[in-house]
Structure 1
Amino acid sequence: MSAETVDGVGFRSERGPVLVSIMVSLSLVALDATVLATAIPTIVGELGDFALFPWLFSGYLLAQAVTTPLYAKLSDLFGRKPVMLVGIGLFMAGSVLCAVAWSMPALIVARAIQGTGAGAVQPMSVTIAGDIYTLAERARVQGYFASVWAIASVIGPTLGGLFAELGIWRWVFVINVPLCLLAAWMMIRRFHEDADRGDRSVDVRGAVLLTSGLTLLVLGILGGGQAWAWSSMASIGVFGAGAALLTAFVVAARRAVEPILPGFVLTRRLLLTTTLIGFGVGAILIGLTSYVPTYLEGSLGVSPVEAGLALTTLTIGWPLTAGLAGRIYLRIGFKSTGLIGAVLALLGTGGLVATAHQPSIVAMAALCFVTGCGLGLLALPALVAAQSSVDWDERGVVSGTHMFARSLGSAVGVAVFGAIANSVFGEGDVHTLGAATIQSGTAAVFVGVLVVAVASAAAVIAMPSTPPRTEP
C-alpha cells in the first residue's frame, strides 16, 4: 500500500488493512491515557512518594512531547513506517519496565521510556491517515479513530480501577505487551509506502536543545514550592537554564538545513492558532484525568472503579463528538466547529469550579461529559485544518508539531496543576488528607483548567476562517 489515495473507506476497502493497523497502534496510546489514573491511589499506597506522582504523567508526557518533533521530521525524511515501528518497540520496552518497577522513581523513569515511544505512535497514526485519505475521507476515518478512543475510554478507567482493587496494578502495564506485538506485526504486514529516503540532514543539535530546555522548565515547575522555594537560587537557576537552552534552540533552528521545528509552523496564523488550541486541549485533558479520580475517592470515598466510571464520561464525550466533527466542519468550517467546542468546554470546566465544594459523583460525571464533548470539537478540527493546509513533505512535521503541542500542554499542565495541588496537599496523600483539603486542592486545579479553557477559546477566535480546501 503506497501513500496514495484510492477509492473506498472502511475495513473492506483496499486501504482497510492499513486502517486496522493504524487503529491497533493508536489503541496503545488511547488505552494508556485512560487506564492509569484510577490506579494512582493504589500505586502510591504501595510505592509511596505521593508528592512525586505528578511525574508519572509529566515524565511520560514530557518525553512524548520532546520526541514528537524529532519523529515527525524523521518521518518526512525516511518514511512513516520505520518511525512507527521504533515507537512501538520503545513503548513496549517501557511497559515491561513499568510492570517490574520497584519504586516511584523507577516507575517514573519507565514511564518516560513509554513516552518516547508514544511520541512516535500517536503523530504517525494521524500522519499516515493524512497521507492515504483525502480531506473528505478523513471526516469518515475520524469516526473509526474515535471508536478506538471510545472503547479505550470505557475499558481503560474501569480496568485500571479493577486492577487496583484486586491489588494487581502492574497489569495496567502488562496488557500493553501483546497489543504492541500485534500492532508491530500488522504495521509490518499491511502498510507499505514509497518514501524518499535521500541523504538529508537531521537537526540533532536542535533536538538536544529543545529536549533539554523543556525538561528543565517542567522540572522547575514541578520542583517549585516542593523541592525548593520559588524564589530560591535553585529555582531561578533551573528556569534560567531552561530559557537559555530554548533560546539557543531558536537560534539553531534558524541556521539548520532541516530544523526539527521549522519556523513556518509558528509564523503562519492558521498553524499558530491550531498549535495553541492543541496545547490547551492537552492541558485540560490531563488536568481532569489526573485529579478527578483523586477528588472523588478522597472527598466522597468512592471506590477506584466508581471513580473510573465517572471519569469515563470525559473520555466518552471526546470521541463521541470527534466522530461527528468531520461532518460538521465540512458544512460550517473548522473555526465554527471549534467555537462550538470552546463553548462546551467553558460550560463544563466552569461547572466543575462552581460545584467543587459540593461533591457529587453524578454532577462530576455530567460536567466531565460536557467538557469531553467540547474537547472533541476543539481538537479534531484544529488538527485537520493544520494538516490540510500543507502538502506531503510538510504534513509530517505539521502533524507532529500539533501533537507536540498537545503533549507539551499535558506535560506543562500536569506540572502546573501538580504544583497548585501540592501547595494545598503538602506532604499528605489521598489516604491521609481530609475531604475538605482534597476539595480545596482540586478546586484550585479546576480553576486552572478553566483558565486554560478560556485561553483555548481565545485561540479559536483568533483562528482564520479558512474553509476546508479541496484535496485530490
Structure 2
Amino acid sequence: MPGNQATQERSWHVDDSQRVGSWRELGSHFGTAAVLAGGVLIGAVNIYLAASLLPTAVADIGGERLYAWNATVFLTAQVVATMLVSRTLSRYGNVSSYLIGFGVFAVGSAVCAASPAMPVLLVGRGAQGLGAGLLTGLGFALIYSALPRHLWVRGTALISAMFGLGNFVGPALGGLFAQFGSWRLAFVVLAVASGVMAVFVPRVLPRSGRDGEHPAEVPLSALVLVVGAAGALSVAGILANKVLMVAFIALALMLVMAFVVTERRSRVRVLPRQTYRAGSALRWVYLTIVFLAAGVAVEIFLPLFGQRMGGLPPVAAGFFGAALSLGWSASQVVSSSARRQRTVRRLRVAGPALLAAGLAMLALLQQRDAPLLLVLAWLPVLLLAGTGIGLAMPHLSVAAMSSTPDKVEGEKAAAAIATVLTMATAFGAAVAGLLVNLGGPAMLNSARYLLLGFAALSALGVATALRADHLARLTERRRESGAEAGDHERHR
C-alpha cells in the first residue's frame, strides 16, 4: 500500500536520526570491524611508507626519471579499483572480494620487494593501488551491508581514522627501514601483513549472497574518463612548468565534467542514480566530502615549511605534517557520539568551517625565520583544522549511505565514498603543487598561497553542507507529508 510504504520510509529516516550505537556495541562486531579497518589501514600505511622508501629504492635500482610515476600509477589504479567495488561484490560476495583485495595487494607488494628495476617496481605499485582501492571501497560498502544501521557512524569513524593513523605509522616504518637500507624488507612486511589479514577474513566476515549470473555491469565510459582525469591530475602534480600544470588541471576538470554528463545519461553508473535527481542532497554531500578531503593535501608541504621557515630538523618537521591527521582521527571518536539530528547537521557544517578557519589562521602565522614559540603555535592550529575534518566526515559518510532505502543503490552510495575521497585527494595534491609553485620562489609566499587557497576551498564546503542540509529537510518534510496523506487515505 502507498500509505504503508510512506510510513516505512518515514520510520526508516527517524531511526537513522535518533539511534547511535556505542563503541562497546561495535566491539561485539570486532572481527568484521577489524577486517574493514585493517584493509583501509594497510593501504594508508603503504602510501606514506612508499614515499619514505622510494629515494632509497632509486639509489639501489635506478630509474630516477620514473620516480614521480610511482604515485601516478598507484593513484590511477586505486581510482579504477574503487569504481569496481560494486561489480566485485555482486559477483564474488563479501569474503571472496576481500580475499581478492588482500591477495592483489600482497602480490603487488611482493613484486615491489623483488624489483630489479624501476619499471618492475611500477608494475608492483599498480597492483598495490588496485588492491588498496578495492579494500578501501569494500570498507565503506561493508559498513552498509555487514553492520547494523545504528553502528554505521561508529564504523565510518573507525575506518576513516585509519587514514590518519597511516600518516603516523607509514613515515615511521618507512624511515626506519630506509635508515638501514632495507626498503625491500618493508614491502615484504606489507605482503605478510596483507596475507595475515586475509587468513582471518573467512573466519570473521559475514558471508553475503552473490549474483554470478547477473553481476553489476562495468561503467566503461565513466571508468575511462575518471582514469584520464586521475592521470591528468597526477601529471599536473609533478610538472614544474606552471602553464603546463594549469593546462593539465583544466584537462582533468573537463574530463570530470564529461564524466558527470556521461553518468547522467548512462544506464550503468558509478555513483547512485539519486546523485543526479533534482532536489537530491546526495550530490552536495559528496561535494562537501571533496572539499574536506582535498584540504588534507596541505600535509604534503607542512614538513617543508617547518624545515625551511621554522628551522626544525626533519623528524620534528614530519610531526607537523601528521598533526592535521591526529586532529582528524581523534575528533571522529567524539563526533561519532552525536545522536540528535540537529547536532549532526551542525557538525556537517561546522567541519568545513573549522578547517577553513584553521588553515587561514595558520597562513597568518607563517613567517621567515620564525621563532620556536611561533612554530610551536602551529601545532594547536593544525589540530584545530584537522578536528574540522573529523567532526563532519563520519556524518557525511552516513548521510551518503542513508540517501536511499534501496539496498543495491545504498551499497553503491557507500562504495562511491572511496571513489570521491580518492579523486579529492588527487585534485588536492595537484592544486597544492600549483599554489606552491605560484608562490615561489619565496617560501613564505608559497606557504601563504597554499594555506589561504585551501582555506577558500574548505569554505566552499560550508556552502555545500548548508545546501545538503536544506535539501535533506525538504525531503524529510515531503516524506512526512506523504506518510500523513497515506494514513489519512487509508482510514477514510
Q: Deviations over 1:298-330 (max 9, x none)?
A: 444534432232233222211111112221254
Alignment partner for residue 72 of structure 1, among 61, 86, 95?
Answer: 86
Offset of 1:410 from its aligned partner?
0.6
Cα distance in 2, alignment partners of residues 313 and 241 from structure 1: 30
Alignment partner for residue 460 of structure 1, among 465, 470, 475?
Answer: 465
Q: Which moved more, 1:47-56 or 1:22-31?
A: 47-56
- Normalising by the residue count of structure 2, what TM-score does the alignment of the two structures yield? 0.77
Identical pairs, percent: 21
Contact 1:44/1:50 (8 A) holds in 2:
yes
Q: Deviations over 1:28-75 (max 9, x none)?
A: 123235545566776788789999766544543333223312223442
The amino acid across from 1:191 in the alignment is: L
Offset of 1:196 from its aligned partner?
4.0
Contact 1:59/1:411 (8 A) holds in 2:
no
Cα distance in 2, alignment partners of residues 95 and 419 from structure 1: 31
- Normalising by the residue count of structure 1, what TM-score does the alignment of the two structures yield? 0.80
Alignment partner for residue 138 of structure 2, among 124, 127, 151?
Answer: 124
Q: Which residue of 1 aligns with 2:284?
A: 273
1:100–1:444 distance in 2 versus 1, CA, 3 Å: farther
SS state of the match for residue 270, structure 2?
Answer: coil
Q: Deviations over 1:421-471 (max 9, x none)?
A: 34566xxxxxxxxxx7444434433233222212222211222254899xx
SS state of the match for residue 463, structure 1?
Answer: helix
How many residue pairs get matched?
Answer: 447
Please show how residues 77-88 of structure 1 align to structure 2 within 5 Å.
78-88=92-102
Alignment partner for residue 283 of structure 1, among 294, 298, 310?
Answer: 294
Alignment partner for residue 24 of structure 1, among 38, 55, 63?
Answer: 38
For the pair 1:370 / 2:361, whether they are aligned, the reply is no
Q: Which residue of 1 aligns with 2:357?
A: 347
Offset of 1:219 from its aligned partner?
5.1
Contact 2:242/2:437 (8 A) holds in 1:
no
Q: Which residue of 1 aligns with 2:327?
A: 317
Q: Give me the CA root mean square deviation.
A: 3.8
Offset of 1:297 from its aligned partner?
3.5
Alignment partner for residue 293 of structure 1, among 295, 298, 303?
Answer: 303
Cα distance in 2, alignment partners of residues 461 and 269 from structure 1: 13
Larger Rg: 2
Cα distance in 2, alignment partners of residues 316 and 141 from structure 1: 18
Query: 5+ unaligned residues in a row in structure 1: which ranges?
Result: 1-6, 426-435
Q: Which residue of 2 aligns with 1:448?
A: 453
Please show how residues 417-436 of structure 1 align to structure 2 within 5 Å.
417-422=432-437
Please show how residues 200-215 of structure 1 align to structure 2 within 5 Å.
200=215, 202-215=217-230
For the pair 1:187 / 2:201, whether they are aligned, the reply is yes
Offset of 1:383 from its aligned partner?
0.4
Please show how residues 108-187 of structure 1 align to structure 2 within 5 Å.
110-142=124-156, 144-145=158-159, 148=162, 151-187=165-201
Cα distance in 2, alignment partners of residues 139 and 253 from structure 1: 29
The amino acid across from 2:430 in the alignment is: A
Cα distance in 2, alignment partners of residues 290 and 455 from structure 1: 21
Cα distance in 1, alignment partners of residues 439 and 121 from structure 2: 25
The amino acid across from 1:324 in the alignment is: V
Cα distance in 2, alignment partners of residues 19 and 137 from structure 1: 10
